[in-house]
């Protein structure tokens, strides 16, 4: 790919197609792990481009592969294809046709951009150095996460670098956020089941109250972050449910209480330590109060980490290309692309979708009014093209430093 080639100009040439693809996807959303028709549509297009696909990838994920005649790295570019159980309120000619299901997180735009990227490289195979993998991934927005399966299915075993992007409502269209280091947080859920001995309010000494025990557990668990986490690190913990005594009578001491919550960190090792402290704290309090308890970790996604040197270099390249690239703060939201970056170096970009002249583009993801400025796709495609050029022309040497 020539240094003189303007990546954003190439991307502009695809804008009409990107909009067409994205609107088709927006009208026909499918929930996580149910993306059968979306996958079939993507596979048919890859077939038309003569891009072969892997046959050992489970479910509705699709992995297209292009191999060049020139030597080079194995690069993977990913888009998520699933929609959300949300009823769209936007009055658009291409609004969702499926009641209660909506692309409210921008995955339709992510998919359209990866299709455009695959289209361009398939028509310019002389530019390909090494191998490119195009991953159209199922189930990003639902545990256990389609990214987990992509890794388990061996798709990343020979990959040198991974790249993805996500819509960013906090940034204006035309801006790319390229942040090295921690990007998104890990998240895991926990459940604590406390078993006591039920009884009558007139004879509480004959019972073992799981409610008062649970209250002590809730108070102690909510204090674990300041107790155990360095204030210069990042972690959050919440208790989101405390339930006991479903009986209607006011004078009944129940047998069981249930506590549920969520904890997050930008440090995967720390996340494991937080869970061990939750477990230890609950078990010790319950033992002291005469109750038994069961603590279960419901595993979510790991923390996502962008390779610092390569990401910083790609940010410089984007700015030279005329695409405004800036640094941003890590967030406590989660993203299953973290399964990729846990086993392979990579960069996860955020690309602005907000247009100050269009207030409808101010809604956050997972909102029934979520709407994007479709020019975001042009900048995202330009970002993919620029990243591909640089990663095949020496940027990966930074991995050796």
Contacts of 254 (CB under 8 A, 6+ apart): 196, 198, 210, 211, 244, 245, 246, 247
Q: Which of 80, 140, 335, 373 is catalytic?
A: 140
Quote the CA–CA distance of 66 and 74 in Å, as a whole number: 10
Is residue 82 flagged as an active site residue?
yes
- Whether 368 contacts 393, CB under 8 Å: no
CA dist list (Å): 87 to 68, 83, 368: 43, 11, 6
Q: Which of 35, 80, 82, 255 is catalytic?
A: 82
Quote the CA–CA distance of 378 and 370 in Å, as a whole number: 19
Quote the CA–CA distance of 132 and 64 in Å, as a whole number: 8
Three-state SS for 187?
strand
For residue 267, give both structure tokens. Answer: 């440090």
CA dist list (Å): 379 to 219, 384, 395, 396, 400: 47, 9, 20, 23, 29
- Whether 209 contacts 196, CB under 8 Å: yes
Which helix (H) or strand (E) element contains residue 326?
strand 324-326
Is residue 30 flagged as an active site residue?
no
Q: Among 306, 343, 346, which residue's Cα sits nearest to residue 184?
A: 306
Do the strands 235-244 and 304-306 form a parallel or antiparallel pair, or are they unpaired? unpaired
Do the strands 324-326 and 175-177 form a parallel or antiparallel pair, or are they unpaired? parallel
**Residues with active-site annotation:** 82, 140
């Amino acid at each position: 790919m020539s240094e003189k080639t303007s990546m954003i100009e190439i991307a502009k040439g695809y804008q009409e197609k990107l909009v067409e693809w994205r609107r088709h996807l927006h009208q026909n959303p499918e929930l996580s792990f149910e993306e059968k028709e979306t996958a079939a549509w993507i596979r048919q297009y890859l077939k038309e481009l003569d891009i072969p696909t892997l046959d050992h990838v489970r479910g509705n994920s699709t992995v297209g592969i292009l191999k060049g005649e020139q030597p080079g790295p194995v690069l993977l570019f990913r888009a998520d294809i699933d929609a959300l159980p949300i009823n769209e309120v936007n009055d658009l000619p291409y609004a969702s046709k499926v009641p209660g299901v909506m692309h409210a997180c921008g995955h339709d735009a992510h998919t359209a951009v990866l299709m455009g990227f695959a289209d361009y490289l398939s028509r310019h195979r002389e530019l390909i150095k090494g191998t490119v993998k195009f991953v159209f991934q199922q189930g990003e927005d639902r545990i256990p996460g389609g990214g987990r399966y992509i890794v388990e299915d061996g798709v990343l075993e020979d990959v040198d670098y991974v790249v993805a992007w996500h819509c960013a409502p906090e940034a204006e269209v035309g801006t790319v956020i390229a942040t090295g280091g921690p990007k998104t947080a890990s998240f895991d859920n926990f459940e604590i089941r406390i078993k006591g001995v039920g009884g009558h309010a007139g004879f509480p000494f004959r019972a073992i109250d799981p409610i008062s025990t649970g209250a002590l557990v809730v108070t102690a668990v909510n204090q674990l972050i300041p107790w155990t986490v360095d204030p210069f690190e990042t972690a959050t913990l919440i208790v989101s449910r405390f339930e006991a005594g479903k009986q209607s009578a006011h004078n009944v001491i129940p047998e069981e209480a249930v506590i549920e919550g969520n904890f997050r960190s930008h440090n995967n090792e720390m996340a494991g330590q937080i869970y061990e402290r939750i477990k230890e704290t609950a078990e010790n309090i319950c033992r002291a109060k005469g109750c038994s308890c069961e603590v279960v970790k419901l595993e979510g996604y790991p923390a996502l980490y962008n390779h610092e040197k390569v990401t910083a270099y790609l940010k410089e390249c984007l700015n030279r290309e005329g695409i405004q690239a800036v640094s941003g703060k890590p967030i406590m939201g989660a993203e299953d692309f973290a399964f990729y970056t846990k086993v392979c170096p990579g960069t996860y970009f955020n690309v602005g979708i907000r247009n100050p002249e269009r207030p409808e583009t101010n809604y956050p993801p997972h909102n029934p009014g979520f709407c994007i400025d479709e020019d975001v796709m042009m900048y995202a495609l330009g970002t993919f093209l620029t990243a591909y050029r640089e990663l095949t022309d020496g940027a990966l040497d930074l991995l050796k430093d």
